[in-house]
Structure 1
Amino acid sequence: MDVNNPGKLGKLWLKLVAAVTALAGIYFLAGGAWLAGIGGSWYFLIAGILLLGSGVLMFRRRLAGAVLFGITLVYTAVWALWDVGLQFWPLFSRVFAPAAGAVLIAFTVPLLTSRVGIRRGAFVSGCVLLVAVIAAFISSFQPKGIIRNTDEAVVSKALPETDPHASQADWPAWSGDNKGSRFSSLSDITPANVKDLKVAWTAHTGEAVIPDKGDAEDQNTPLQIGDSLYVCTAYTSLISYDIDSGKEKWRYKAGLGNSTYQRCRGIGYFDATTAKNVAEPGSAIDASVSPQRLFFPTGDGRLVAIDAHTGKPAANFGNNGVVDLKIGMGEVKPGYYQQSSSPLVAGNLVIVGGRVVDNFETNEPPGVVRAYNAVTGDLVWAWDPGNPKVTREPLSPEGYTRGTPNVWVGMSYDADLGLVYLPTGNATPDFYAGERTEADDKYGSSIVAVKVSTGRPAWSFQTVHHDVWDFDVTGTPVLYDVKNDDGTVTPVLAETSKTGMIYLLDRRNGKPVAPIEEKPVPQGNVPGERYSPTQPYSTGMPGIGNETLTESDMWGATPFDQLMCRIRFKSSRYDGIFTPPGLDTALQYPGSLGGLNWGGASVDPTTDLLYVNDLRLGLYHYLVPAKDIPAGLGSSEGMGIVVQKGLPYGSMRQRLMSPLGVPCQAPPFGTLSAINLKTHKLVWQVPVGTVQDTGPLGIPVGLQMPLGMPTLGPTLTTRSGLLFFAGTQDFYLRAFNSHNGEEIWKSRLPVGSQSGPITYRSAKTGKQYVVIFAGGSPHSSERGDDIIAYSLP
């Protein structure tokens, strides 16, 4: 090629390369000056000067332009190593794009010089860089950041015959049992043969969620009892299927519920022939009408008892099978109250809390928890967090105490201790609490143990004091018996939180089993607000995705969006987990989405391992004076303006994302982790999920790069050493070796899933099935209505 006569195509190419380089330099120069001016890294400013000079020189067809780009690449590599060390994904985002650009420029050198030696050197350099770029790209398909603690040996022990799991072949509760275990003793499917799992049958609800039409998500974990599988839908239908064929047996339609928040995470099951009378010990239970029944919560605040065999309402429960949960609640605006998670069936009681519309206004419906007679629907007791004198019906014509902390996720029950464990949220609205009372704060963001016979509190433990972050206690409490080396047993409760902390308590009295320390936290200065001087840190258990971020932790798919993330970080106030909201922009990490969300945890009693999955999405937010919020603007739980009616401030919230729509902190954005409940140590942690079905600007990348994506949904563990999980942003049901976290099987789903896998054995065929409900992921517009059952051939 003649450098003096490159031709039209050569001239065009050179101008294009020069222009792109110069524009990148201008972007880096402007953004880098901004970043340096607010105390951030000087790298981008200096790189911007070098790139702009490189582009200008190449536009003038000077070889020095290519040399200057090479200097920029070397400078970038040295800075990146100094900034983040040898961490793959942070290095990838800093060096990959400049290296790819250097490859193009190296092959462009013949347009800049006729000297043969320089041309050859540039070609060799370009080839070496190309190989390095390709190698880095190939390496990106291998999981990074895997943690395996070699000091924590996983030893399986036999499951005692006295363990209730030992003979359980059904899945009769949301967690498989009332202890939040999500464990099955079935072991036909093993790490050795799980690769042979095939789809046995697929059924359809016929009620796929319509995207962008109301806030609806399919998040149901089915129940299975005998030869029936029970599934509830976001649009308030309850359906029974045959467990061996997927054939529909019956369907009950309870109405559309509400249009503001449509969920049915689970239902409850009651068998009057085996249940103990816990409300009136020693009394017989009338089992003459619908002795086996399902408790189905509806979106408009009703609790329906359904005959498990016929699908008809149980006539002797409430009013023709229905109890109106809005009775005693005072004013309940449409969509402001419902039971979205599974009712808890404890003996002959069905216990319900309720989800209220989060964040919208003060004086919202009460957070009362109530127990009803599972046969008659009569109210047995009520726990009103705002009034300890209430024992059943409200003592005021206005109803139970309004605006109190509510229980919107699953509860647990210890029949031996006679205690029900309630994970609470905080009194709404969330981000300004200056007007909360002491009673509002007493039980907010806590685990509260109440006596099953009376509903009176036995003890409580608060995970966040005066919560102004929406750090609800989100997971169903896991009740587990730790067998100590001296032969004694400690009955523990493991609770997950949006903070990424795991609290391990003695469930008899709420005392810490693993150390929890009160530590000083940053104080805010919002007029009218007050702040807790300390917060409880669970220092004795591993923290999951709640490290304190630095500017170097900022990430992006390219250096361009990483620069904007760094500017966002340095422009915001941030002092770790408990950075209080203010009138200025503050960062919250973990954000109010988690951390550890409603999927909770599972536990394997043969290994003492607790399994948790997380999502790592920060927020940036600030309070907005109410007078400055335009009329009609604002939402409740979504991003953007949160109104908080009745308070002097609303709140502006946005996810801490780059301009390309990827989280600002470095991957992983979601993991699976195993923690030993006996030693309190992290045993392993692996990133979970790829960018195959999501990506920058919401466009699916189509590549199985295992960055580890935000997760939402529960896990399932089995005695054979398997951990099943589907709550990723890509469309797969996966099986992991539960001892080391190795992914050993996956099956492509038609859409994503937020549901919990379950497993059971058919008495008719003897087969063990694994079932998942795939209704869609919140990060994709694709929706489905698929119930898929897997079995071995």
Structure 2
Amino acid sequence: MTWRPCTGAAVALLPWLALPAPLLAQNANWPVYHGNDEHTHYTTLSQITPANVKRLTVAWTFDTKDAFPGSEMQANPIIIDGVLYATTPKLQVFALDAATGKQRWRFDPQHGAPPTSRIRHRGVIVTGDRVLFNYRNRLYALDRRTGRPIPTFGDSGWVDLRQGLGRPIEGLSVSASTPGVVFEDLLIMGSTVPEQLPSAPGDIRAFDINTGALRWSFHTIPHPGEFGYDTWPPDAWRIAGGANAWAGVTIDAARGLVFAATGSASYDFYGANRLGDNLYANSVIALDARTGQRRWHHQVLKHDLWDRDLPAAPILVTVQRGGKAVDAVAQITKTGHTFLFDRVTGTPLFPLEEVRMPHQALDGEQTSPTQRFPVSPPPFARQQLTKNDLTRRTPAAHRAALKTFTEYNTPHPYTAPNTKGIIIYPGVDGGGEWGGPAFDPKTGLMYVNSNEMAWLLKLVPRSDASLYSANCAGCHGEDRKGTAIGPSLLDIATRRSREQLLQMVREGTGRMPGFGAAMDGGAINDLVNYLVTGKDETKAKAASAPNPYALPYRTAYFDIFLDHEGYPGVKTPWGTLNAIDLTRGTMAWSIPFGEYPRLAAKGIRNTGTDSYGGAIVTENGLLIIAATTYDNKIRAFDKSNGKLLWEATLPFAGNATPSTYMVNGKQYLVIACGGGKNGAPSGGVYVAFALP
């Protein structure tokens, strides 16, 4: 993070932010998502030190009063010229005085209406006179001074992200959970699309910051004549979905390059309709930032069948090779691997090993014969689950875990999904997650928190007995009680109006696909009747036309591998915090990260937990991170060895990346406390810390 004092032009533009001249030099910004264009979470601010960090106290809190059951809040706040910009659990956008937490303005894209679903959102973009953010399919531009939509941007202040994808917009669900990047007069961004079918394609796009006009698109599902087209079936570009950069993109402004990391193709777990390697799914991609033309790519996982999206945007680092500095791109994975590429050429900077893969799969499926893995650095997550890796927390817990392990027998980490069930390990929530790594350019160390939990997956033949079974049970369960990827629908009629349900089924929402293109109006109406009444008297085949998105298998069970008391079924640690030397390709240190309060009260400490959100690394020796799901802590560690220096309890879990900034000569540390992950309580509070 660099010092960016207010300029005369900025003060003239925003007079309500004006400060006396002596204070201008005492302000430092957190100007973009994750602190800088490189996404390294690094700061040179030094008022908070390893020696005084234990004196941090709460400077202010801001309760959004916007949480609801199951909601999350993952924003990394932006702070510019003494003003903080962020979002609430219902995705209202606000501006605060960054020194006091007092609200200046607030914008509600729903105009008071209740949310139709849980929203995951990681913040906003502040550039020039505007604040850019996404709500569902709408990309808004707000006036930075007032929070009102800018009428000259798009259609009276917003652009429809469903447009320009080469598909009819009816039934498309397209949003963006992670802020994009600004380069010259372009906003470059990825998108969030459903992981079930039907799904939109994951095009990476650039929009004119001033007008909202689409300037270029890169097709992550290649069109005819484009490189990679032959890695899909011929018609895939018309109907396939996913391969989207949902975790954001990273800009090298000096070189005019933008880097993206993509997710898997839809549907995640069965790919008979997408035979081939499926470029550019699960890939690191370098594009010309002005034109969107491909410069280089590396596919990390071919024909993904395990939901192993690349979980965070690439970070830009500099490492030593043969005594020379080499600019590079580092990419973490859900499997706990770290790929390192030359930034200009895409050449791997550590050797890759080609490994033979199992070939058994369900009818119609064809797995990739091989996958490539870096020889160095070592993975920051365990790679295969055996009987010796099952929990020993109690004898009863071990017996329960062994029973599940035996039922879901998985001889190889890349066993293809099947109807008997498999264990995905590392799980679909990592290894690495969307918080992404932090990098210290002074030492060459990269810091990443890792989840160490297995997941269970079982497929079943897709039933055509009812509309619900054919289209909804894979996410929400055959009994409508919900799963890890879809909430319970048992009482949905008490929480949503019939009109809202019709809209959700027709248009989709977030990761849920819209069925407007796959079902006629009568079928959608019949499906909503079932959700409201619980009585399903229709047959899928009778109610809907032939469906090009239909697959012969769907998800029957998909959830975390837990013991009989709800704790992970594997040995501790269940979460770690790691330091990796990117020059040497070695692990510098690794510690358990997080606790379960109920176990800690019994003396079972340092178990580790799952964590979501990243760390800040400071030039003067600190690694600061919240992220842990159940203990509601924010912590500061000695970055050289992982020694705990300070911790504080938050009102809710801080499943987000903190920001640090300076106003009027005082350094602050702020974290969004939203909770809501994996059954944890939901909240909507921002907490800022400072020295007394």
Shorter-chain TM-score: what band?
A: 0.7 to 0.9
Give the distance between the partners of 1:556 and 1:194, measured in 2 at CA.
36
Deviations 1:92-135 (A, max 9, x none): xxxxxxxxxxxxxxxxxxxxxxxxxxxxxxxxxxxxxxxxxxxx
The residue number in structure 2 matching 1:717 is: 617
Does the 8 Å CA contact 1:259/1:335 hold for their aligned counterparts?
no
Does the 8 Å CA contact 1:343/1:410 hold for their aligned counterparts?
yes
Does the 8 Å CA contact 2:27/2:665 hold for their aligned counterparts?
no
Q: Which amino acid aligns with 1:206?
A: K
Q: Which amino acid aligns with 2:106?
A: R
Summarize the alignment of residues 420-431 of structure 1 with structure 2, pairs less than 5 Å apart: 420-431=258-269
Structure 2 residue 412 is matched with structure 1 residue 412: no
Structure 2 residue 592 is matched with structure 1 residue 687: yes
Give the distance between the partners of 2:362 and 2:688, measured in 1 at CA.
53
TM-score (norm 2): 0.80
The residue number in structure 1 matching 2:536 is: none
Does the 8 Å CA contact 1:385/1:443 hold for their aligned counterparts?
yes
Give SS of 2:475's match. coil
Structure 2 residue 640 is matched with structure 1 residue 739: yes
Deviation at 1:176? 0.6
The residue number in structure 2 matching 1:54 is: none
Structure 2 residue 63 is matched with structure 1 residue 227: no
CA change 1:167–1:673 in 2 (3 A) is farther
Give the distance between the partners of 1:345 and 1:170, measured in 2 at CA.
16
Give SS of 1:632's match. helix
Give SS of 1:564's match. helix
The residue number in structure 1 matching 2:218 is: 383
Deviation at 1:167? 11
Give the distance between the partners of 2:106 and 2:484, measured in 1 at CA.
39
Does the 8 Å CA contact 2:163/2:169 hold for their aligned counterparts?
no
User: 373, 377, 388: which is aligned to 2:208?
Assistant: 373
Structure 2 residue 559 is matched with structure 1 residue 654: yes
The residue number in structure 1 matching 2:671 is: 772
Does the 8 Å CA contact 1:421/1:477 hold for their aligned counterparts?
yes
Give the distance between the partners of 1:293 and 1:545, measured in 2 at CA.
41
User: 94, 102, 107: which is aligned to 1:247?
Assistant: 102
Q: Which amino acid aligns with 1:265?
A: R
Give the distance between the partners of 1:752 and 1:355, measured in 2 at CA.
24
User: 124, 128, 135: which is aligned to 1:267?
Assistant: 124
Please give the root-mean-square deviation of Cα atoms over the aligned residues, in Å. Answer: 2.7
Give SS of 1:355's match. coil
The residue number in structure 2 matching 1:597 is: 433
Deviation at 1:458? 0.9
Summarize the alignment of residues 533-548 of structure 1 with structure 2, pairs less than 5 Å apart: 533-548=369-384
Give the distance between the partners of 1:569 and 1:188, measured in 2 at CA.
50
Give the distance between the partners of 2:615 and 2:410, measured in 1 at CA.
32
Does the 8 Å CA contact 2:624/2:634 hold for their aligned counterparts?
yes
CA change 1:184–1:640 in 2 (3 A) is closer
Q: Which amino acid aligns with 1:174?
A: Y
Deviation at 1:234? 2.8
Does the 8 Å CA contact 1:753/1:774 hold for their aligned counterparts?
yes
Q: Which runs of 5+ in 1 are unaligned?
A: 1-158, 272-291, 392-397
Q: Which runs of 5+ in 2 are unaligned?
A: 5-24, 227-235, 477-481, 487-511, 514-548
Structure 2 residue 657 is matched with structure 1 residue 756: yes
The residue number in structure 1 matching 2:12 is: none
Give the distance between the partners of 1:211 and 1:331, measured in 2 at CA.
34
Q: Which amino acid aligns with 1:589?
A: Y
TM-score (norm 1): 0.71
Deviations 1:295-330 (A, max 9, x none): 1111x2111111222222223322222111121343
Does the 8 Å CA contact 1:466/1:531 hold for their aligned counterparts?
yes
Give SS of 1:756's match. coil
The structure whose Rg is larger is: 1
Give the distance between the partners of 1:606 and 1:629, measured in 2 at CA.
61
Deviations 1:643-670 (A, max 9, x none): 9961111123232111111111100000
Q: Which amino acid aligns with 2:588?
A: V
Give SS of 2:669's match. strand
Q: Which amino acid aligns with 1:717?
A: V
* Seq. identity, %: 33
Deviation at 1:776? 1.6
User: 348, 364, 367: which is aligned to 2:185?
Assistant: 348
Give the distance between the partners of 1:242 and 1:749, measured in 2 at CA.
21
Q: Which amino acid aligns with 1:678?
A: T
The residue number in structure 2 matching 1:295 is: 132
Give the distance between the partners of 2:654 and 2:66, measured in 1 at CA.
15
User: 531, 554, 579: which is aligned to 1:674?
Assistant: 579
Summarize the alignment of residues 425-504 of structure 1 with structure 2, pairs less than 5 Å apart: 425-438=263-276, 441-484=278-321, 486=323, 488-504=324-340
CA change 1:775–1:629 in 2 (3 A) is farther
Deviations 1:561-592 (A, max 9, x none): 20121232233332343222123222210122
The residue number in structure 1 matching 2:233 is: none
- How many residues end up aligned between the 2 structures? 589
Q: Which amino acid aligns with 2:608?
A: G
Give the distance between the partners of 1:672 and 1:174, measured in 2 at CA.
21
Q: Which amino acid aligns with 1:250?
A: W
Give the distance between the partners of 2:146 and 2:3, measured in 1 at CA.
36
The residue number in structure 1 matching 2:570 is: 665
Deviation at 1:469? 0.5
Give the distance between the partners of 1:489 and 1:423, measured in 2 at CA.
24
The residue number in structure 2 matching 1:316 is: 152
The residue number in structure 2 matching 1:728 is: 628
Give the distance between the partners of 2:284 and 2:579, measured in 1 at CA.
22
Deviations 1:485-533 (A, max 9, x none): 53x2211111111111111111212211012211112222311000111
Give the distance between the partners of 1:743 and 1:345, measured in 2 at CA.
36
Give SS of 1:236's match. coil
The residue number in structure 2 matching 1:193 is: 52
Give the distance between the partners of 1:584 and 1:259, measured in 2 at CA.
34
CA change 1:576–1:170 in 2 (3 A) is farther
More RCO (CA 8 Å, sep 6+): 2
The residue number in structure 2 matching 1:89 is: none
Structure 2 residue 320 is matched with structure 1 residue 523: no
Give the distance between the partners of 2:683 and 2:396, measured in 1 at CA.
36
CA change 1:533–1:451 in 2 (3 A) is same
Deviations 1:58-112 (A, max 9, x none): xxxxxxxxxxxxxxxxxxxxxxxxxxxxxxxxxxxxxxxxxxxxxxxxxxxxxxx
Give the distance between the partners of 2:178 and 2:386, measured in 1 at CA.
37
Q: Which amino acid aligns with 1:176?
A: G
Q: Which amino acid aligns with 2:258?
A: V
Q: Which amino acid aligns with 1:519?
A: V
Does the 8 Å CA contact 2:26/2:662 hold for their aligned counterparts?
no
Give the distance between the partners of 1:399 and 1:377, measured in 2 at CA.
25
Deviation at 1:628? 7.7
Give SS of 1:563's match. helix
Deviation at 1:630? 6.2
Does the 8 Å CA contact 1:355/1:408 hold for their aligned counterparts?
yes
User: 390, 412, 416: which is aligned to 1:554?
Assistant: 390
Structure 2 residue 456 is matched with structure 1 residue 620: yes
Q: Which amino acid aligns with 1:639?
A: T
Does the 8 Å CA contact 1:668/1:707 hold for their aligned counterparts?
yes
Give SS of 2:326's match. strand
Give the distance between the partners of 1:772 and 1:702, measured in 2 at CA.
29
Deviations 1:174-197 (A, max 9, x none): 111121111111011111000111
Deviation at 1:224? 0.4
Does the 8 Å CA contact 1:772/1:788 hold for their aligned counterparts?
yes
The residue number in structure 2 matching 1:564 is: 400
Q: Which has the higher strand share?
A: 2
Does the 8 Å CA contact 1:367/1:402 hold for their aligned counterparts?
no
User: 618, 621, 639: which is aligned to 2:483?
Assistant: 639
Deviations 1:322-367 (A, max 9, x none): 1111213434567832111112222211112211122x22x31121
